[in-house]
Amino acid sequence: MLNKTSNTTWGGRFEQAPDADAVQFNASLAFDHVLYQHDIAGSKAHAEMLARQKLISQQEAALIMQGLAEIEAEMDQGQHPLDYACEDIHMFIEHLLIQKIGDAAKKLHTGRSRNDQVALDLRLYVRKSADSIREQLQTLMETLNTLATNHQQDRMPGYTHLQQAQPISLGHYFAAYYCMFQRDGKRLDDWHARMNYSPLGACALAGSNLPLDRQFIAEKLQFSGIIENTLDAVSDRDFVIEFCSVASIIMMHLSRLSEDMILWATQEFNFVSLHDAFSTGSSLMPNKKNPDLPELIRGKSGRVFGHLMSILTVMKGLPLAYNKDMQEDKECLFDTVNTLSACLKIMSPFLKSLRFNTELMQEKAAGGYLDATEVLESLVLKGMPFRMAHHQVGQWVRKAMENQCSLAEIQMNTIEKKPFHLCTGMELQAEDIKNILALANEIRQSPKKFNKTLANKKLVMLFEKPSFRTRLSFSLAIQELGGVAVESIESSRKQEHPADMMRVLNGYADFVMMRTHDDGVFAKMAEHADIPVINGLSALYHPCQILACWHFYFHPFLLHSLFQQSVLLTVQQAQ
């Protein structure tokens, strides 16, 4: 290929032979030879166009086409050792063609530059690679879909911050990855629609004065059209960068999935057992079975991200149009395709080989108070403001942890047996107060509608320092709703112990309403109560809060109606 004085392809103006190290440094054939099929496909389309445009004869075109077909078949069989003196794959094939068919081959490069040639080859290469990546994605999605379907009913803990959060199903887990890879496939489709335009005919940068038919080549090579701006056609590698970015996203998804499997395979998690065929042992520790495959996928994601960064960095400072720096895109792109493809290929069989310890997953999903959010939402559905419910369930979880029992047990105890100091930490939103007042108003407007609400219910009112107004308003409210009000003022029970008093009240009354600033006494009463006890006068919170809370824990309608009436009165008094 090299003669003594210069390179035969471009050496016309050179007097000195190139330096051997410089030749090697300059060459890309060692890696761009993988483009040979695409280079030949592009050349065939180009030759056909040249003949149609009468820039070469039909005979010359036929010779070129025949020669290229033979070279391709020979290269398929590895018959042509790479001649590194030929700078790149484009010159290597032209050199082989000249050897094979002689002078006709020297016309092939008419109306073409290596700049548009390489832009074309690279597009053909990455377009084809993406097709097979898309197929591999499809296979992986089918595997995930099967796993999602088979494990629909298998409950497991779902995690946030790697802390057990809420129960999910193993099927739900795999379905999430199905969705991610589905989006990745769509990303490739979008990218394909954007990149599928032919650069050929842009020549070095400015197009050609020859009557080329760019459209013909584009159609021949299944492009949607041509890249109109010739500078753009030869100078951008955004289609490579965008592909590498989609590849990086796919690798990121594969890596996360791998990470979970690695974690689940630990003795600590023990959610999954690795199949012998897809794991490795340790050269030192006979007990080990290592998840090398997902670890490698996780590791290789770093490499693919790196390629994306490399190409971005190569491109970022280049003046228009072509610069040799762009030759550095190839190894990154090729390795991205190969790495991604290898990872996708192994992921499906690896996943299929896993045995999931669904019993243990189920057991873990049942413990750990993962039902807390469900309980919270059930309170919200009953009408409790979200923040209040959150706080309440949080307290129940703490209690359940202290007592080493389930949330359900604590909840039952709390609701049915042990009223507790409801005033603590409750918050009531303006909206809630509005609703309560609206109901109270309704009761006031049509008391008849509610006059059976408290039928046969005895409500005992233990007031600290009741004003006549308060006593009257509460007593009348209870009576209007059909109940019986019994009042007691503090001075008359000075000597009585709250526990004793509560024991009696448990037997006679249906509810107790206190109005005291002494939280200690209230707590004692509540502690010994089998019936609802409420403090309607707290030093800490507005009675509205307490009333609203109360209603959620006990007979929702009865007390609701009753206490709303009181709230209304209280509010009226305050005005």
For 511, phi then psi, to 5°, come to: -145, 155
Nearer to ligand ARG, 31 or 356 (CB): 31
Nearer to ligand ARG, 314 or 422 (CB): 314
Q: Going along 39-184, which residue ranges are E strands?
A: 155-160, 163-169
Is 565 one of the binding residues for ligand ARG (CB under 6 A)?
no
- From 48-56, 225-233, 287-295, 326-334, span contacting ligand ARG (CB under 6 A): 326-334
Distance in angstroms (rounded) separating the CA atoms of residues 36 and 18: 25
* 427 residue type, one letter: E
* From 46, 95, 114, 298, residue interacting with ligand ARG (rule: CB under 6 A): 114
Catalytic residue among 57, 224, 282, 446: 282
Residue from 125, 126, 170 nearest 151 by CA: 170
- From 73-81, 98-106, 319-327, 398-406, span contacting ligand ARG (CB under 6 A): 319-327
Site for ligand ARG in 19-58 (CB under 6 A): 28, 32
Nearer to ligand ARG, 31 or 278 (CB): 31
238-252 as b/e: b if 16+ CB within 10 A:
ebbbbbbbbbbbbbe
- From 55-63, 215-223, 324-332, 554-562, span contacting ligand ARG (CB under 6 A): 324-332
Q: Please, are residues 415 and 405 in contact by the beta-carbon 8 Å criterion?
A: no
Is 203 one of the binding residues for ligand ARG (CB under 6 A)?
no
Site for ligand ARG in 130-169 (CB under 6 A): none
Residue from 29, 244, 8, 208 nearest 116 by CA: 208
Placement of tokens 């955004």 in the chain:
238
Catalytic residue list contains 282: yes
Catalytic residue list contains 161: yes
Is 115 one of the binding residues for ligand ARG (CB under 6 A)?
yes
Closest approach, Cβ 319 to ligand ARG, in A, equals 14
- From 112-120, 210-218, 281-289, 459-467, span contacting ligand ARG (CB under 6 A): 112-120
Closest approach, Cβ 25 to ligand ARG, in A, equals 12
Question: Alpha helices of 326-412 — where are they, by DSSP H?
Answer: 329-353, 358-366, 372-381, 386-403, 407-412
- Phi and psi based region of residue 122 (left: phi greater than 0; alpha: psi -120 to 50; beta: remaining): alpha
Is 123 one of the binding residues for ligand ARG (CB under 6 A)?
no
Placement of tokens 């180009």 in the chain:
46
Q: Please, are residues 244 and 336 in contact by the beta-carbon 8 Å criterion?
A: yes
Say which residues have a Cβ less than 8 Å from residue 329's Cβ, sequence separation at least 6. 122, 237, 240, 311, 314, 315
Tokens describing residue 562: 């009753």
Nearer to ligand ARG, 129 or 327 (CB): 327
Nearer to ligand ARG, 331 or 363 (CB): 331
- Using CB under 6 A, list all residues that contact ligand ARG: 28, 32, 88, 114-115, 118, 322, 324, 326-327, 330
- Catalytic annotation, residues: 161, 282
